[in-house]
Amino acid sequence: MTSCSRAADFTASCITASFRKSKMPLCAGKRHRINDMKAEEIRMSTYRVELIRTVDDSYNIEIGFGLTGQLIADLQSGLAGGIKKFAVVTDSNVKPLYADKIYDRLVEAGYSADIISFEAGEKSKTRQTKEFIEDTMLAKGYRRDCCIIAVGGGVVTDVAGFAAGTYGRGIPFINYATTLLAAADASIGGKTAVDTPLATNLIGLFNQPRKVYIDIAAWKTLPPREIYSGMAETIKHACLADGDFFDYLEKNTERILDIDPEACEYIAKRNCEIKYRVVMKDERESGLREVLNLGHTVGRAIETVSGYRLLHGEAVAIGLVAQARLAKKRGYMSEDEAERVKNLIARAKLPTEIPDYIDRKELVQKLYTDKKVKDGCIRFVLEKGIGDVVCFGDNVYSTPVSEDEAAEIIGEM
């Protein structure tokens, strides 16, 4: 039985106790052992653990150009409370470009800091990398009075945010996002995770950062393919929530790909607004948040089956075309609308077809590892025209799709 002595830890008392299969003597003077008892004779006591909590996880997203100075100023103004010890988690590409500078500025400002860097790429988004971060922090004497600053793209913010959620049962973390994809999606919403050989992002936590910095100046050093990849999540946001934003992307694709500051700032803000609107209403993905999964049923599966030869955004781009085809087939999109989605994706220099090297059968089977799968059924989020998604019922935004229908769409691509 759990003692009541920890009740003070909770908002209100108290504690669970169950006597199932204990060796308590029975009442009425009988001396049966508990194993001799019939099920209905087992005595139980149930105490309710009341944990009604009001948590304010609000945070600011700073969008700008070169935000290291702002980060240090925020820390000095108490962003991380009284914490003086920071683990700067980053990857091998971002370390020399941005994380080293953040580390230097932390040390200059009198903080204790370390850089923990792992090899760049989706292949590092694993339990092993999380373990490496944790073991390094343990070895360097990090206890609970510390904070992780994740500097990098979605891989870094996902794995570092997950590590922060479990290190010392939870320490604060800050996201300093350096890719368009992280700006558009990964750094906002509090989802953190690692991949496993069987599926991406299934092991993780909802864990909100203290603050997010979106450094648009950092996009200048991104390889072009990473910019295109980030555009996929931006196009996804336009497809699911905002037809005018979709028009803007159609008219300004080249400016964005050239990292025009004004256009990039606009898309960074619009991405945040759209994602925020969805996440705010459904922090724990009970319904509405499913809409952010547009294009991800096929996208995630292709990403895994390609052995990560395709970047996340490239895979999502193909997934967006797949859902548009399905939406057209089911009458939710016109031929023209589905074509516009495909054309914008192509203009953003993203793939619109499944590469030849992908085994179609394996891809269809992989769809069953999607987190939306319910009662063994593959499910898709579908676009309704441009800038909206189909609502299939009360707070239900995905619909079952038979294996044959999914295979047919995949076969056509």
Of 204, 123, 196, 113, the closest CA to residue 163 belongs to: 204
Q: How far is the CB of 132 from ligand NAD (least distance, A)?
A: 16
Q: How far is the CB of 293 from ligand NAD (least distance, A)?
A: 10
Query: What is the DSSP code string of 107-120?
Result: HHTT-EEEEEEE-S
In the complex with ligand NAD, which residue's Cβ is closer, 114 or 226?
Answer: 226
Q: Do 305 and 319 touch, CB atoms closer than 8 A?
A: no
In the complex with ligand NAD, which residue's Cβ is closer, 318 or 333?
Answer: 318
Q: How far is the CB of 363 from ligand NAD (least distance, A)?
A: 18
Q: How far is the CB of 66 from ligand NAD (least distance, A)?
A: 12
Of 69, 67, 57, 56, the closest CA to residue 268 belongs to: 67
Q: How far is the CB of 186 from ligand NAD (least distance, A)?
A: 3
Q: Residue 236 CB: number of other CB atoms within 10 A?
A: 31
Q: Do 175 and 187 touch, CB atoms closer than 8 A?
A: yes
In the complex with ligand NAD, which residue's Cβ is closer, 300 or 340?
Answer: 300
In the complex with ligand NAD, which residue's Cβ is closer, 85 or 204?
Answer: 204
Query: What is the DSSP code string of 320-360?
Result: HHHHHHHHHHTTSS-HHHHHHHHHHHHHTT---S--TTS-H
Q: How far is the CB of 270 from ligand NAD (least distance, A)?
A: 16
In the complex with ligand NAD, which residue's Cβ is closer, 172 or 190?
Answer: 190
In the complex with ligand NAD, which residue's Cβ is closer, 124 or 399?
Answer: 124
Residues 188, 193, 197, 198: what is their CA dihedral angle, to the nearest 10 degrees? -80
C-alpha neighbours within 13 Å on the C-beta side of residue 9? 6
Q: How far is the CB of 283 from ligand NAD (least distance, A)?
A: 12
Q: How far is the CB of 373 from ligand NAD (least distance, A)?
A: 18
SS3 content of the chain, % helix, strand, coil (to 5): 50, 15, 40
In the complex with ligand NAD, which residue's Cβ is closer, 84 or 371?
Answer: 371
In the complex with ligand NAD, which residue's Cβ is closer, 115 or 218?
Answer: 218
Residue 380 phi/psi, 5° resolution?
A: -125, 145
Q: How far is the CB of 229 from ligand NAD (least distance, A)?
A: 5
The residue type found at 82 is: G
In the complex with ligand NAD, which residue's Cβ is closer, 119 or 145?
Answer: 119
In the complex with ligand NAD, which residue's Cβ is closer, 121 or 355?
Answer: 121
Q: How far is the CB of 163 from ligand NAD (least distance, A)?
A: 14
Residue 176 phi/psi, 5° resolution?
A: -115, 95
Q: What angle do the packed helices 261-281 and 224-241 form, to 10 degrees?
A: 50
- Residues engaged in binding ligand NAD (CB under 6 A): 91, 93-94, 97, 120-122, 125, 152-156, 158, 178-179, 181-182, 185-186, 189, 191, 200-201, 218, 221-222, 226, 229, 312
- H or E stretch including 203? strand 203-206
> How far apart are alpha carbons 124 and 126 in whole angstroms?
5
Residue with tokens 């049962």: 169
> How far apart are alpha carbons 324 and 340 in whole angstroms?
10
In the complex with ligand NAD, which residue's Cβ is closer, 120 or 346?
Answer: 120
> Nearest to ligand NAD by Cβ — which residue?
154
Q: How far is the CB of 312 from ligand NAD (least distance, A)?
A: 4
For 268-307, letters b (16+ CB in 10 Å) and e give bebbbebbeebbeebeebebbbbbbbbbbbbbbbbbbbbe
Parallel/antiparallel/unpaired status of strands 147-152 and 173-177: parallel
